[in-house]
Amino acid sequence: MVRYLITGGAGFIGSHLVEALLARGDEVAVLDSLSTGRLSNLEAVRDHPAFSFTQGSVLDELAVDQAVRDCDVVVHLAAAVGVKLIVEQPLYSLTTNIRGAICVLEAAHRYRRKVMVASSSEIYGKNNADALNETSDRILGSPAVARWAYSTSKAVDEILAYAYHRERGMPTIVVRLFNTVGPRQSPAYGMVIPRFVRQALAGEPLSVYGDGSQTRCFCHVADVVDALVRLLGEPRAEGDVFNVGSSEEISIEELAKLVIARTGSSSELVHLPYDVAYEAGFEDMARRVPDVTKVGEVTGWKAKRHLVDVLDDVIAEVRAEYALARDI
Ligand code: UDP
């Protein structure tokens, strides 16, 4: 049995990881400020004897110190995420991501704990390669653009993890998460699938930003959690970085049409220019496709679910949510 600390464990990915680790028989403590995470995400594990929850920020050194002291392995997921949030609150995003990672890594160093740090495919910036592998270049615009500032903050988190590994011998693992989707993902921070599914089920137009030709690969959160659990159990992963994501590429226009088809909605598509959807000068990535060879070689991982599986799971969740709201 391993005692895990999951920072950001009340968030979308975190809460699924908590459930997977408890199901394996591990002990899990969550530290979460509940700024974007929700206690309702942890409903299923609330009374589990091996689970504990502390409301606190990763910027609170004392709270982090105590939580890290009492665990064996840290999974650092607490971060400002979502393009909408990082564009609207760049200072908050930078502080949470950089200072939060420093605080967690310093405590892990103090107590000699293993740490997994969650990074993001945002670090690749505008690199439109066929498949981005872990050594692909970062291509960024001006740091005055909030998105590139966010990308830099996640790269700083990575660099800190590498430096602690090389210079201090700490076992750190970096995971670069590509678009991750599934039940419990909030529509509040801009993510496209929870937004499209709600719009379709409400009979509202689906808001396609730009011309909709930009592509993404959406991975089911259950597959992402499977990759994280495998990497946590693999000593060869220490000191290294791994892409985790789906290789099934789809344009946002096609995604909108697929959501309409799977929901049976009569909604239309509406195209919104980026500077209306976000802010003047906003830059999007034309495509973002991961090369996941490395995580496959080291752990045997492969995404098992397809985009339609993700959509059906999210549609079922949102239908239940709407039915509940109607009953109240
Ligand atoms: N997007 C969209 N409509 C929305 C929300 C997002 O067309 O209501 C687009 C967004 O511009 C991007 C893609 O969908 O091209 C994925 O956006 P998301 O925020 O989910 O992820 P990321 O941009 O980080 O890949």
Is 150 annotated in the active site? yes
For residues 222 and 13, the answer to whether their CB atoms sit within 8 Å is: no
DSSP state at residue 11: S
User: Is the minimum distance from the CB of 252 to ligand 1 under 6 angstroms?
Assistant: yes
Q: Is the pLDDT of residue 328 over 80?
A: no
User: Is the minimum distance from the CB of 219 to ligand 1 under 6 angstroms?
Assistant: no
Q: What is the pLDDT of residues 271-287, one digit of tens each?
A: 999 988 888 888 889 99
**Helical ranges in the chain per DSSP H:** 12-23, 61-69, 83-88, 90-94, 100-111, 146-168, 192-201, 221-232, 252-263, 274-277, 293-299, 307-327
Give the domains, in start order, of the chain with CATH numbers. Answer: 3-180+221-246+289-304 (3.40.50.720)
pTM of full prediction above 0.85: yes
Q: How far is the CA of 65 from the centre of ligand 1 (A)?
A: 36
DSSP state at residue 138: P
> Mean per-residue pLDDT for 190-200?
96
Q: What is the pLDDT of residues 286-312, one digit of tens each?
A: 999 999 999 999 999 999 999 999 999
DSSP three-state, residue 295: helix
Gap between the Cα atoms of 157 and 153, Å rounded: 6
| Nearest one of 188, 221, 207, 247 to 311, comparing CA atoms | 221
Q: How far is the CA of 90 from the centre of ligand 1 (A)?
A: 18
Q: Is the pLDDT of residue 109 over 90?
A: yes
In the set 92, 111, 124, 150, the catalytic residue is 150
**Helical ranges in 24-145 per DSSP H:** 61-69, 83-88, 90-94, 100-111
